[in-house]
């Protein structure tokens, strides 16, 4: 009897001191994953109550919605500001208004991006700025000014033609610029650069069939046709994995690349000696614009360990921890809160901040059916490039399908 009691006591004691698990899902792999893994280790060592576990999940968006449906979502999920509205509309994210985190330290636009319908639904992690990048060496060799990017859309086309090389059979060997890199493109961003919008901010109507949008894609298609759709298709088949030395930009297949500033991280890993140039993607009206995305962590509805998740976010919100996740060039925190080591380690951050000062930042619209908008847009882009639908038809189809979904939801 005594032995049993001692055993029971031991068990209870162990239980009381045992940690509860906090499950975190992220899309990061490779080097980016290692960074969050290290932070998680640090968190686990810093306290006794929780053991955080970070898992790299491929196809995170799909796996997440499935887990929501199954009622067993993780405790924290890595998302993008674009998905806050749709998932909140689905009933998938918890409100984080009572998070014990100092939001003052974040830049204003960052705080704005995690709000929806007046509540906070996500914790900001990092900021990514988008624009065109080029290898300065490649520019020099082609006789172009390595420090100055194309300033207008016409110049972009000019530069691209100058940088494009062919082999004896007329196939592409290097392409100046691919406006829609397969599986790595943001077609909607182009619409903004042509002065259009995806959603009318006043009426909430879908404006993807506006004249500006039509003009946008006609321009893109004309650009592609200039190089030959068949040749482009073939060339694209040879693009290698993004996070590798055969990344089409790193390997020199593409001379000018539209991407977020994490591309500097890729170069740091696979071509550390290269010097990159950066400029905003030119707009049709000459105004300087940059698309910005914010990576976030959210707590799903139905998470088992909400307390633990919040504790981890508190830990992460300390500037010295948070900035580790910023593999790109920008800090999500205000300059006064960002440790100076941040800027020292990043070659391009000063340059980018200069560019930002002169440019207008824009974000994804907060739209509850954004995931469908993206799907329809991806499909429309494929149809337009394949020639199975004209630009007007394709854009009208997006609008029609979305409006039907909106009506259905009511």
Partner 1 sequence: MRGMRRLTVISLLILGALIFLFPFYWMVMVSLGKPEDFMKAPPRLFPSSLNLQNYTEALRYIPFFRYFFNTLWITCMVTLGSVVSSSLVAYGFSKIKWPGREVLFLITLGTMMLPPAVTVIPLYMEFKAFGWLGSFKPLWVPAWFGSAWAIFLLRQFYRSIPDELLDSAKIDGAGHFQIWKTIILPMSRAPLAVVALFQFVWSWKNFFGPLIFLRDQNMYTLSLGLAFFQSRHGGTEWHLLMAAATLTTIPTIIIFFLASRYLIEGIKITSGFKG
Partner 2 sequence: MSRKRKELIAGLIFVSPWLLGLLLFHVYPFITSFYYSLTDFNPIKPSEFVGFENYRWLLEDNLFWKSLGNTLYFVGIGVPLSQLTALLIATGLYSVRRSRVMRTFRGIFFFPILVPEVVMVLVWLLMLNSEFGILNSFLKFLGINPPSWFLSVTWAKPTIIFLRLWFIGTSMVIYLSSLNEVPEEVIEAAIIDGASPLKRFFKITIPMISPVILFNFIMDTIGTFQIFTEPFVMTEGGPARSTYTLTMFIYTNAFQHLDMGYASAAAWMTFSLIFVTTVVVLAVTSRHVFYRG
Residues at the interface with partner 1 (CB under 8 A) = 29-30, 55-59, 63, 66-67, 69-72, 238-244, 246-247
Which residue number, 8 or 173, has a Cβ lying nearer to partner 2? 173
Q: Are strands 289-298 and 360-362 parallel, antiparallel or unpaired?
A: parallel
Query: At its nearest, how many Å lie between partner 2 and the CB of residue 239?
Result: 9
Q: Which stretch binds partner 2 (CB under 8 A): 118-126, 130-138, 193-201, 236-244?
A: 236-244
- 103-123 burial by CB neighbour count: b if 16+ within 10 A, else e? eebbbeebbebbebeeebbbb
Query: At its nearest, how many Å lie between partner 2 and the CB of residue 88?
Result: 12
Which residue number, 62 or 386, has a Cβ lying nearer to partner 1? 62
CA distance 9 to 25: 35
Residue 72: contacted member of partner 2, partner 1, none (CB under 5 to 8 Å, by partner type) = partner 1
Query: At its nearest, how many Å lie between partner 1 and the CB of residue 56?
Result: 8
Among the listed residues 377, 372, 364, the one whose alpha carbon sits nearest the alpha carbon of residue 220 = 377
Query: At its nearest, how many Å lie between partner 1 and the CB of residue 18?
Result: 21
Q: Does 386 sit near partner 2 (CB under 8 A)?
A: yes
Q: Does 102 sit near partner 2 (CB under 8 A)?
A: no
Each residue 287-326 as x (binds partner 2 by CB under 8 A) or -, in order, gives: --------------xx------------------------
Q: What is the largest CA-CA distance in the chain?
A: 90
Q: Does 103 sit near partner 2 (CB under 8 A)?
A: no
Q: Is 409 exposed, middle or buried (0-12, 13-18, 19+ CB in 10 A)?
A: exposed
Each residue 249-278 as x (binds partner 2 by CB under 8 A) or -, in order, gives: ------------------------------
Residue 314: contacted member of partner 2, partner 1, none (CB under 5 to 8 Å, by partner type) = none
Each residue 35-64 as x (binds partner 2 by CB under 8 A) or -, in order, gives: --------------------------xx--
Residue 235: contacted member of partner 2, partner 1, none (CB under 5 to 8 Å, by partner type) = partner 2
CA distance 146 to 133: 11
Q: Helices 211-227 and 229-236 meet at what angle, rounded to 10?
A: 80
Contacts of 241-248 with CB under 8 Å at 24 or more apart are: 242/184, 242/266, 243/29, 243/30, 243/31, 243/269, 244/270, 245/270, 245/271, 248/178, 248/181
Residue 241: contacted member of partner 2, partner 1, none (CB under 5 to 8 Å, by partner type) = partner 1
CA distance 256 to 282: 13
* Binds partner 2 (CB under 8 A): choice among 69, 173, 245, 361: 69
* Binds partner 2 (CB under 8 A): choice among 40, 52, 68, 163: 68
Which residue number, 265 or 371, has a Cβ lying nearer to partner 2? 371
* Binds partner 2 (CB under 8 A): choice among 212, 275, 382, 392: 382
Chain residues that interact with partner 2, rule: CB under 8 A:
61-62, 65-66, 68-71, 90-92, 230, 233-238, 301-302, 371-372, 379, 382-383, 386, 388-389, 397, 400-401, 404, 408
């Amino acid at each position: 009897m005594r032995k049993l009691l001692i055993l029971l006591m031991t068990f209870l004691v162990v239980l009381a001191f045992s940690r509860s698990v906090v499950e975190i899902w992220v899309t990061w792999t490779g080097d980016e994953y290692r960074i969050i893994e290290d932070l998680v280790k640090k968190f686990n060592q810093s306290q006794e109550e929780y053991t955080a576990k970070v898992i790299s999940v491929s196809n995170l968006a799909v796996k997440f919605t499935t887990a929501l449906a199954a009622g067993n979502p993780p405790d924290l999920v890595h998302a993008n500001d674009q998905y806050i509205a749709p998932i909140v509309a689905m009933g998938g994210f918890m409100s984080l208004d009572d998070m014990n985190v100092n939001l003052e330290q974040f830049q204003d636009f960052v705080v704005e991006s995690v709000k929806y319908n007046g509540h906070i639904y996500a914790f900001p992690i990092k900021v990514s700025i988008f624009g065109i990048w080029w290898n300065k060496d490649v520019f020099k060799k082609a006789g172009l000014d390595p420090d100055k990017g194309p300033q207008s859309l016409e110049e972009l086309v000019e530069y691209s033609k100058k940088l494009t090389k062919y082999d004896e059979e007329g196939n592409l060997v290097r392409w100046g610029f691919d406006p829609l890199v397969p599986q790595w493109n943001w077609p909607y961003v182009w619409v903004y650069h042509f002065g259009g919008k995806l959603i009318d901010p006043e009426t909430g109507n879908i404006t993807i069939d506006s004249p500006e949008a039509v003009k946008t894609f006609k321009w893109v298609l004309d650009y592609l046709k200039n190089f030959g759709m068949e040749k482009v298709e073939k060339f694209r088949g040879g693009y290698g994995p993004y996070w590798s030395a055969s990344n089409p930009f790193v390997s020199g297949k593409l001379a000018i690349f539209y991407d977020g500033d994490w591309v500097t991280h890729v170069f740091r890993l696979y071509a550390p000696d290269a010097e990159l140039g950066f400029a905003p993607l030119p707009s049709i009206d000459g105004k300087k614009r940059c698309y910005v995305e914010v990576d976030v962590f959210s707590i799903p509805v139905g998470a088992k360990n909400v307390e633990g998740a919040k504790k981890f976010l508190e830990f992460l919100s300390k500037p010295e921890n948070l900035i580790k996740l910023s593999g790109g060039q920008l800090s999500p925190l205000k300059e006064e809160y960002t440790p100076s080591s941040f800027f020292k380690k990043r070659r391009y951050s000063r340059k980018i901040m200069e560019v930002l000062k002169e440019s207008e930042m824009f974000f994804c619209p907060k739209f509850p059916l954004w995931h469908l908008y993206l799907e329809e847009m991806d499909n429309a882009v494929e149809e337009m490039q394949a020639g199975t639908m004209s630009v007007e038809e394709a854009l009208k189809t997006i609008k029609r399908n979305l409006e039907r979904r909106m009506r259905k939801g009511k």
